[in-house]
Amino acid sequence: MRCQRVLMIFLLSLFISSSALGWAVVSMALREMRGDNAPLPISILTGLYLDILIPAAVFLSFGYLLGEFLGRGNLEGIGVPTLIGSFLVFLLLTTPLDSILIPWEVSPEGVCRRAPYMPEEYLLSMAFMMSVSSLFIVSWVLASTRSNEPED
């Protein structure tokens, strides 16, 4: 039983962190493809949908389904460790991405080389997506408290 719980925590953490990271990379790629030539209202609306609304709906529905399926009793045993584990796995997964997402720059001598930093908008987008992914625990709590209320 303990081994199944640890395996479930690990798999849920891996699923949540990889989906948050994947969504952040897709969002950054679409933002780069769109470029600076998009009008400001369209840029704000697509950024709002890509960075907030769609991932929030996915994580909220995922957490709600987990809350309905696993209930309140597993919230402390599986939900909270999954949230902490997904954050740690997310940090482990972004370390190799740091070498992939670092842009190239041209030095004053004309030599093309890798820039010594990761752009802040990449880090900010990844951190924001990880915070949006924590909404799954909020919906788990909502689903489990709703199911424990006495029926009239």
pLDDT tens digits for 20-49? Answer: 888 887 777 777 766 666 666 766 676 777
Share the mean pLDDT of the chain.
76
pLDDT band at 104 (very low <50, low <70, confident <90, very high): low
Q: Is 142 left (phi over 0), alpha (psi -120 to 50) or beta?
A: alpha
Give tens-digit pLDDT for 62-76: 888 888 888 777 887
Cα separation, 65 vs 147, whole angstroms: 12
Would the pLDDT of 117 be above 70? no
Q: Are 17 and 132 in contact (CB under 8 A)?
A: no
- Whole-Å CA distances, 149 to 100, 138, 142: 49, 17, 11
Token digits of residue 24? 């952040």
pTM given for the model = 0.71
Would the pLDDT of 148 be above 60? no
